[in-house]
Structure 1
Amino acid sequence: MVGLLDLVQKTMTTPHPLDRYLELVRPTLTRRSMRAKITHVRRSAVGSVTLTLEPARQWSGHVAGQYVQIGVVIDGVRHTRCYSPVNAEGRRDRHIELTVKAHPHGLVSNHLHENAIPGMVVDLEPAAGAFHLPEPRPEQIVLISGGSGITPVLSMLRTLADEGYRGRILFLHYNRSPEWVPHRQELEAIAMQHSNVRIEFRYPEAVRGQVWGGGALDSGPSGVGERSGGAEGGKNRDLGTANPPAAKRRANQAERDANFGYDELESLAPWFPSAQTYLCGPPGLMAAVRTVYEAEQLGDRLHSEEFTLTTAVVDPADAEGKVTFSDSGVVAENTGESLLEQAESAGLNPEYGCRMGICFSCTAVKRSGCTRNLRTGQLDSDPDQPIQICINAPVGDVDLAL
Structure 2
Amino acid sequence: MFTEIASREHAVPTRTPSRLLSLFEAMATPHPLDRYLELVDPMATVRDLRAEVVEVRRPTPGSVTLTLRPTRQWDGFRCGQFVRIGVVIDGVRHARCFSPAGSEHGAGIELTVKAHGGGLVSGYLYRHARVGLVVGLSQADGTFVLPRPRPSKVLLISGGSGITPVISMLRTLVDEGHRGDVTLLHYADRADAVPYLRELRALSDGRSNVNVVLAYTHSRGGDLAGRFCAEHLRAAAPWFAQAQTYLCGPPALMRSVRELFDERNLGDRLHTEEFSPVLAPTDADADGSVTFAASDVTARNVGTSLLEQAENSGLTPEYGCRMGICFTCTTVKTSGCTRNLRTGELDHDPDKPIQLCVNAAVGDVTLDL
On whether the aligned pair clears a TM of 0.5, the verdict is: yes
Q: Which moved more, 1:99-108 or 1:194-203?
A: 194-203
- The residue number in structure 2 matching 1:178 is 191
Deviations 1:235-289 (A, max 9, x none): xxxxxxxxxxxxxxxxxxxxxxxx1111221122111100110000000000111
Distance 1:139 1:124, change over 3 A: same
- The residue number in structure 2 matching 1:150 is 163
- Distance (whole Å) between structure 2 residues aligned to residue 12 and residue 86 of structure 1: 39
- Distance (whole Å) between structure 2 residues aligned to residue 128 and residue 13 of structure 1: 33
Q: Is the 8 A contact 1:191 1:197 kept in 2?
A: yes
Would you say 1:290 and 2:258 are equivalent positions?
Answer: yes
Q: Which moved more, 1:14-23 or 1:391-400?
A: 14-23
1:107 to 111, 120, 124: 120
Q: Is the 8 A contact 1:144 1:279 kept in 2?
A: yes
Q: For 1:292, what is the secondary structure of its paired residue?
A: helix
- Distance (whole Å) between structure 2 residues aligned to residue 11 and residue 109 of structure 1: 34
- Distance (whole Å) between structure 2 residues aligned to residue 360 and residue 72 of structure 1: 19
1:188 to 193, 201, 224: 201
1:383 to 347, 350, 359: 350
- Distance (whole Å) between structure 1 residues aligned to residue 356 and residue 283 of structure 2: 19
User: Within 5 Å, which residues of 2 pair with 1:27-176?
Assistant: 27-91=42-106, 93=107, 95-176=108-189
- Distance (whole Å) between structure 2 residues aligned to residue 44 and residue 117 of structure 1: 15
Q: For 1:193, what is the secondary structure of its paired residue?
A: coil
Distance 1:263 1:14, change over 3 A: closer
Q: For 2:208, what is the secondary structure of its paired residue?
A: coil
- The residue number in structure 2 matching 1:270 is 238
Would you say 1:226 and 2:223 are equivalent positions?
Answer: yes
Would you say 1:333 and 2:300 are equivalent positions?
Answer: yes
* Alpha-carbon distance, 1:12 to partner: 6.5
Q: Is the 8 A contact 1:11 1:21 kept in 2?
A: no
Q: Is the 8 A contact 2:283 2:304 kept in 1?
A: no
Distance 1:12 1:333, change over 3 A: closer
Aligned length: 348
Q: For 1:390, what is the secondary structure of its paired residue?
A: helix
- The residue number in structure 2 matching 1:299 is 267
- Distance (whole Å) between structure 2 residues aligned to residue 263 and residue 26 of structure 1: 55
Q: For 2:252, what is the secondary structure of its paired residue?
A: helix
Structure 1 letter corresponding to 2:52? K
Would you say 1:309 and 2:277 are equivalent positions?
Answer: yes
Q: CA RMSD in A?
A: 1.7
Q: Structure 1: which 4+ aligned runs deviate by more than 3 Å? A: 8-14
Q: For 2:147, what is the secondary structure of its paired residue?
A: coil
Distance 1:13 1:300, change over 3 A: closer
Q: Which moved more, 1:304-313 or 1:13-22?
A: 13-22
- Distance (whole Å) between structure 1 residues aligned to residue 26 and residue 305 of structure 2: 44
Q: For 2:342, what is the secondary structure of its paired residue?
A: coil
Structure 1 letter corresponding to 2:91? G
Q: Is the 8 A contact 2:310 2:316 kept in 1?
A: yes
- The residue number in structure 1 matching 2:325 is 358
Structure 2 letter corresponding to 1:57? R
* Alpha-carbon distance, 1:78 to partner: 0.4
Q: Is the 8 A contact 1:47 1:180 kept in 2?
A: no
1:20 to 35, 40, 44: 35
- Distance (whole Å) between structure 2 residues aligned to residue 171 and residue 266 of structure 1: 13
Q: Is the 8 A contact 2:204 2:211 kept in 1?
A: yes
- Distance (whole Å) between structure 2 residues aligned to residue 331 and residue 12 of structure 1: 36
- Distance (whole Å) between structure 2 residues aligned to residue 390 and residue 303 of structure 1: 22
Distance 1:36 1:262, change over 3 A: same
**Percent of counterpart pairs with the same letter?**
58
Deviations 1:21-66 (A, max 9, x none): 3224431222222000000000121211000000011111100100
TM-score, normalised to structure 2, is: 0.91
* Alpha-carbon distance, 1:359 to partner: 1.4
1:397 to 359, 364, 367: 364
- Distance (whole Å) between structure 2 residues aligned to residue 18 and residue 342 of structure 1: 34
Structure 2 letter corresponding to 1:47? G
Larger radius of gyration: 1
- Distance (whole Å) between structure 1 residues aligned to residue 118 and residue 228 of structure 2: 27
- Distance (whole Å) between structure 1 residues aligned to residue 247 and residue 24 of structure 2: 52
- The residue number in structure 1 matching 2:17 is none
* Alpha-carbon distance, 1:118 to partner: 0.5
Deviations 1:184-213 (A, max 9, x none): 111111011312111111111227xxxxxx
- Distance (whole Å) between structure 2 residues aligned to residue 178 and residue 296 of structure 1: 31
- Distance (whole Å) between structure 2 residues aligned to residue 169 and residue 12 of structure 1: 53
Unaligned stretches of 5+ in structure 1? 208-217, 219-224, 231-258
Unaligned stretches of 5+ in structure 2? 1-11, 13-20
